[in-house]
Each structure stands twice: as structure tokens, then as C-alpha cells.
Amino acid sequence: MSKLSTKIAFPIILSSIFAISVFIAVDYEELRPSFYLVLLFVAIYVFFFGYATGERFASPVKELLERANKLSEGDLSNRIYLDTKDEISELAKIYNKMAEELEASCEREKNTEKSVDIKVRAKTQALEETINALEQKINNRTIELQRLAKELEDFKTNKKTV
């Protein structure tokens, strides 16, 4: 039995035991054994009635709590639908609205992240193309300088031999 069920069932059971005690005290000496048997059945009935009433009121709250735990674990598509016509049903509607807004917010965040990623890739690609072009220019200049250095070396050797 859950805490909420106990909080609901316990007062029902206690008040019923009190009522039964009052019936016994009214005319204790004239009671027959059959009355005690009926009283036993009434006590059993009251216990199960209190337990069932507690469970009936506690089950929507338990369901809402389980769904809230799933939501906190990251299951954003989790919704709850209760057929009760009380405040718990209103709480379930508010829970569903919050879950929808949270799911939409996470979806917007993912879309924004994808958009930023695409923009960063585009900027990075442009920078990589610029870097590649500069590297190619450096390679061309290096080859040109090596050629010029070789020509200069050849010129110096030709000048010494002449």
C-alpha cells in the first residue's frame, strides 16, 4: 500500500472501528453471538472498503508520478490521460502541456544546433579553401625560388669556369 493510499484508508478504517465500538457499547449485555459475527463481517468490509478507496484515490497520483519520473529521465513524448473529473485530471492536463512545451523546446534547440553546425561548416569550408589556395601559392613560390636558386648556382659555376 502506498503512502497516499494509507493516508486515505487509515482515517476511514479508524472511524469505522470507532462506529463499531459505539454500537457495541450501546447495549453490550443484550448482544447475541450472531451480532458479533455480523460485526466481524462489517469490520472486514470496512477494512477492504478503506483500502479500495485509498487505492482509487492514489492510483491517478501514482500514474502521474511515474510519468513525471519518465519525463525527468528524458522521455519527452510521455503523456498521461486520466478520466477523473477532479483536480488530478487538471494536473494531468498541465503536465501534458508542460511535456509538449518541453518537447518543442528541445526540438527547437536541436534544429538551432543543426543550423549552427551547417553555418560553421560553411564558414570552415571557405576558410579551408582559402588555406589550400595559400598553401598552393607557397608551394609555387617555393618551387620558383628553388629554380631561381639553381639557376643562380649554375650561373656562378659557369662564371667561374669562363
Encode pLDDT of 106-156 as tens digits: 999 999 999 998 888 888 888 898 899 999 999 999 999 999 989 888 888
- The answer to the question of residue 69 being in a domain is yes
pLDDT attached to residue 4: 67
The CB-side HSE value for 144 (13 A sphere, CA atoms) comes to: 6
Q: pLDDT by residue (tens digit) across 58-107?
A: 888 888 888 889 888 888 888 888 887 788 888 888 989 999 999 999 99
Residue 107 located in a structural domain: no
Q: How far is CA 138 from the centre of its chain?
A: 55
Q: pTM of the prediction?
A: 0.54
Half-sphere exposure of 72 (CA within 13 A, CB side): 6
Identify whether the C-beta of residue 90 lies closer than 8 Å to the C-beta of residue 96. no
Kindly state the average pLDDT of the residues 31-37: 74
Helix axes 3-26 and 33-72, enclosed angle (nearest 10): 170
4 and 58 Cβ atoms separated by less than 8 Å: yes
Residue 86 dihedral angles phi and psi, to the nearest 5°: -135, -165
Q: Would 29 be classed as within a structural domain?
A: yes
Helix (H, G, I), strand (E, B) or coil at 82: coil
Position 112 scores a pLDDT of 92
| 22 found inside a domain | yes
For residue 8, which of 55, 40, 45 has the smallest C-alpha distance? Answer: 55
Domains in the chain, number: 1
Is position 44 within any domain? Answer: yes
Q: Is residue 119 part of a domain?
A: no
* Domain interval for residue 7: 1-74
Q: Give me 58's grid cell.
A: 492514489
Q: Is residue 73 classed as helix, strand or coil in its secondary structure?
A: coil
Kindly state whether residue 25 falls inside one of the protein's structural domains: yes
Identify whether 10 is part of a domain. Answer: yes
The three-state secondary structure class of 84 is coil
